[in-house]
Structure 1
Amino acid sequence: MFFFFYNITSIFLVLPVSLYHWYRSVSRGRSPAFKERFGFLPREELAKIGGRPVIWLHAVSVGEAIAARPLLKALRAKYPCHAILVSNTTETGRAITSSFPEKDISLYFPFDFLPAVRRALEHIKPELIIIMETEIWPNFTRQAALRGIPVILANGRISDRSYSRYLAFKWFFRHALQLFSNLCMQTEVDRERIIAIGAPPERTLRIGNLKYDIPFRHLSPEDIIALKEHYTIPHELSVICAGSSHPGEEEHIISAYRELLVSRSDLFLVLVPRHPERAANVAALLANAGLAYRRRTDLAATSDVMFRSGEVLLVNTIGELMGLYALSDVVFVGGSLVPTGGHNLLEPASVGVPTIFGPHMTNFREIAALVLQHQAGIQVDTPADLAEAFQKLLSEPVLRQELGRNGLLMMRENGGATERHMEIIAGYLDTKFPSNNTKQRSN
């Protein structure tokens, strides 16, 4: 009965949802890709399946895509004869995953409209579906179950901010949650929360966080110099990278940078807004502050002109954050000075760079606690504390190196979630395709 009323309601929602999606895409200068989102998949993409069994992994946006990378590498290594399809909801997520060599096919996830879902599943016919973190779509999950396709929730989490909303709509989500074959949650708190929302306890497991399995290494001085040269940054400058910044944070980052420049002549700032389409707004802030800057997309035309101390690289691209973190001396991770919930602190930790972050880390509470426990970063209470934290790490190289080493140790001690996820996945694929993990990839 629930699904009957859900589908009746969805008929009336198709038009407003489509109009909203069209406006959102066009206003950001991107294609709405309605054909894929309604299940009409490109023939050239479907041809890449080539008769192979398909593993379908869905990662909503950039964060989920990056978290999925260790799992994708493991899937490619263990199942070389399977076609791996990666779907995304956002354009930025699609841009990231399109460059992943482990995948065979990139598509947009269909709207949870019954004809769209049926059409997509009938075209793809996956043997297994893996959904990253917390995406609960009733029609998609039910149609997969009706076709006997196992659906696994991987790296699942329920944030503090969303938990109350999920509970309030428990009557809605429990119907889909009951259809998941397994729900692999990051922490025991996440496990308890999703069970309270309606997940079956016997199929809900605490597996750990895939983000700890990001490949980690400490770069050599030669590697760092080469990275700096790639971005036309003089190797003698100390680099602050502010990554994944949000509205309301850039003003404080710029203010802290200007304050430091009063007493230092060896500084350089890399500023990476979370959403590249905001680059024009951030550029206006830099201009108003009297700071010279160049956009990342302009570097090719000015590759023979090195940056100078006091200038700014404004990054208006995606997919480069890890390299920018690696060349930096200190990293500030955004979404944490404003009540957004924070972003992933493990990325700078994985390249041995100390992290500064603000008080709003509700979406990454476990990771923030571990960073502080391992003394791999500094948490500031207010935006006014940002300049002092930068100055402390920049002026104390021994402390900076110690925090960087602690971050690498933290990554080493908390890994293993990929292997545990693969054990669950193998239970669905190995009995059906016992020889596929030994064959060579044939495409």
Structure 2
Amino acid sequence: MLYVLYDILFYLLTPLIIPYHLYRSLKRGRSLAGFGERFGFIPADKLSRLAGARTVWIHAVSVGETMAVRPLLKELKRRHPAWRLVLSNGTETGQRIARGIAEVDLCLYVPFDYRFAVGRALRAVAPSLVIIVETELWPNFLLAARRRGIPTVLVNGRISDRSFPRYRRFCRFFAPVLAEVSAFCMQTEEDARRIVAIGAPPARVHVARNLKYDLPVAEVGPAERQQLRQTYAIPAGVSVITAGSTHPGEEEQVVAAFARLRQERPLALVLVPRHPERAAEVGELLRQWGIPFIVRSRLASPAAPAPPGTVLLVDTIGELMKFYALADVVFVGGSLVDTGGHNLLEPASVGAPVVFGPHMHNFREITALVLEAGAGSQLADSAALAGELDRLLAAPAQRQRMGGAGLQLLARCGGAAARHLEIIDRLIPAGERS
């Protein structure tokens, strides 16, 4: 009865779902074939890449989840090199990142949760295992997988402070959905406790730690950093701030801090909005401040160095780690506004000192580890941003200590992918393993 009511609600929403996603497809460059994938129509030429091999279907809704699952994809391919990995996303930006991951054999858009759409997609891909990243639990997709005998596992699972009360309120709905999942690999003990409280069978819940800890550690030397700066038209002899994954309301604070600091020292700013389609909006903000800027997609190659005090405004996907690597100081966005923050370990993994705001509730454990290790600095509010950046830019020895502490932290905290694979391998029949 629960699934019947869910289906009725989903069909009632169809007049809103289809026009909205068709508009997104046209606006953001998604092909009509990509739109068809949302209804389970996967082109035959794509399916031919699977060539009858054993297949694992991994679903990561957007950029953050796609970035997080990369260590697991690498470990899956290492342990099961003959398997084909299919990675699905729900957003265009997530799909762009997915296409750049070497271990992925096929990229798809996830089907809408209509029974006919998920059934058609599962028949076409015929996976031996489905892996779902973080919290993307769609009832009909899970039900269809279970009826086909396909085990499903939630990886890097988390239940945020904000969502937990809502899930608890509707636990009578979520409990049957969670019962369809074969295993839950949660980030922390608290996440495990929360998903059991919502209705997950306790025997299937495991603490496997956070895949975002499994970033490759790569300290960037002076020569490599200088080469990156030349590639992106950053002049010699300037300090560089990278502001990554910024949101509306934050760019104003970052630009205000930069406007003040560029009067005091040779400085460049790399500004990377979380959603690249907002670049035009952020560019208008820079014009209002009278600050010169270069748009990344229009940057010539090779590029002539820009004057000191210029902003590199990034409107592309997939280069964020390079922008972290070339920076003297990194500000991680989503933290001065009540978004919940982004992954501090990404800049830490390239030895960059990290500055971030008070709103880090989606990364509470990582925040505590970064602060305890001395790898980052947390601001009380946006008013403190300029002062903290100025302090760190004037203290190269402290920046070096913070960067080194971040590298050591990553070296200590790895291994989550291996823990996840221990649980995943139990779901794969011995005769089907590579």
TM-score (norm 1): 0.96
Q: Which whole-Å deviations, capped at 9, do the CAs of 1:63-93 have from their partners, x for residues lacking one? A: 0001111100111111111111000011100
- Give the Cα–Cα distance (whole angstroms) in 2 for the partners of residues 228 and 46 of structure 1: 41
State whether residues 210 and 417 of structure 1, in contact with CA within 8 Å, keep that contact through their aligned partners in structure 2. Answer: yes
Aligned length, in residue pairs = 433
- Give the Cα–Cα distance (whole angstroms) in 2 for the partners of residues 156 and 67 of structure 1: 11
Q: Which whole-Å deviations, capped at 9, do the CAs of 1:121-157 have from their partners, x for residues lacking one? A: 1111100000001111100001100111000000001
Bigger CA drift: 341-350 or 156-165?
A: 156-165
State whether residues 182 and 204 of structure 1, in contact with CA within 8 Å, keep that contact through their aligned partners in structure 2. Answer: yes
SS of alignment partner, residue 270 of structure 2: strand
- Give the Cα–Cα distance (whole angstroms) in 2 for the partners of residues 82 and 400 of structure 1: 43
1:99 is matched with 100
Deviation at 1:318, TM superposition (A): 0.7
Bigger CA drift: 206-215 or 8-17?
A: 8-17
SS of alignment partner, residue 107 of structure 2: strand
- Give the Cα–Cα distance (whole angstroms) in 2 for the partners of residues 331 and 398 of structure 1: 16
- Give the Cα–Cα distance (whole angstroms) in 2 for the partners of residues 29 and 116 of structure 1: 22
State whether residues 230 and 303 of structure 2, in contact with CA within 8 Å, keep that contact through their aligned partners in structure 1. Answer: no
SS of alignment partner, residue 70 of structure 1: helix
State whether residues 232 and 303 of structure 2, in contact with CA within 8 Å, keep that contact through their aligned partners in structure 1. Answer: no
Structure 2 gaps of 5+ residues are none
User: Is 1:184–2:166 an aligned residue pair?
Assistant: no
The amino acid across from 2:402 in the alignment is L
User: Is 1:86–2:87 an aligned residue pair?
Assistant: yes
Deviation at 1:263, TM superposition (A): 1.5
1:290 is matched with 290
Deviation at 1:24, TM superposition (A): 3.5
1:384–1:410 CA distance, 2 compared to 1 (3 A): same
Percent of aligned pairs sharing the same letter: 52
Deviation at 1:7, TM superposition (A): 1.9
- Give the Cα–Cα distance (whole angstroms) in 1 for the partners of residues 382 and 247 of structure 2: 13
Deviation at 1:10, TM superposition (A): 2.2
2:312 is matched with 313
SS of alignment partner, residue 262 of structure 1: coil
User: Is 1:52–2:31 an aligned residue pair?
Assistant: no
Deviation at 1:232, TM superposition (A): 1.6
- Give the Cα–Cα distance (whole angstroms) in 2 for the partners of residues 163 and 329 of structure 1: 38
The amino acid across from 1:168 in the alignment is R
The amino acid across from 2:351 in the alignment is G
- Give the Cα–Cα distance (whole angstroms) in 1 for the partners of residues 395 and 9 of structure 2: 60
State whether residues 14 and 113 of structure 1, in contact with CA within 8 Å, keep that contact through their aligned partners in structure 2. Answer: no
Q: 1:322-333 counterparts in 2 under 5 A?
A: 322-333=321-332
1:77 is matched with 78
- Give the Cα–Cα distance (whole angstroms) in 2 for the partners of residues 122 and 414 of structure 1: 39
The amino acid across from 2:36 in the alignment is K
For the aligned residue pairs, the C-alpha RMSD in angstroms reads: 1.2
Q: 1:262-281 counterparts in 2 under 5 A?
A: 262-264=263-265, 266-281=266-281
Q: 1:73-152 counterparts in 2 under 5 A?
A: 73-152=74-153
The amino acid across from 1:349 in the alignment is A
- Give the Cα–Cα distance (whole angstroms) in 2 for the partners of residues 15 and 76 of structure 1: 41
- Give the Cα–Cα distance (whole angstroms) in 1 for the partners of residues 16 and 172 of structure 2: 24
- Give the Cα–Cα distance (whole angstroms) in 2 for the partners of residues 88 and 133 of structure 1: 13
- Give the Cα–Cα distance (whole angstroms) in 1 for the partners of residues 113 and 17 of structure 2: 11
State whether residues 25 and 35 of structure 2, in contact with CA within 8 Å, keep that contact through their aligned partners in structure 1. Answer: no
2:228 is matched with 227
Q: Which whole-Å deviations, capped at 9, do the CAs of 1:356-384 have from their partners, x for residues lacking one? A: 00011111111111111111100001111
Deviation at 1:430, TM superposition (A): 5.5
1:238 is matched with 239
Structure 1 gaps of 5+ residues are 437-443
The amino acid across from 1:19 in the alignment is P
TM-score (norm 2): 0.97
- Give the Cα–Cα distance (whole angstroms) in 2 for the partners of residues 197 and 61 of structure 1: 24
Q: Which whole-Å deviations, capped at 9, do the CAs of 1:398-434 have from their partners, x for residues lacking one? A: 1000000111111111111100011111112250324
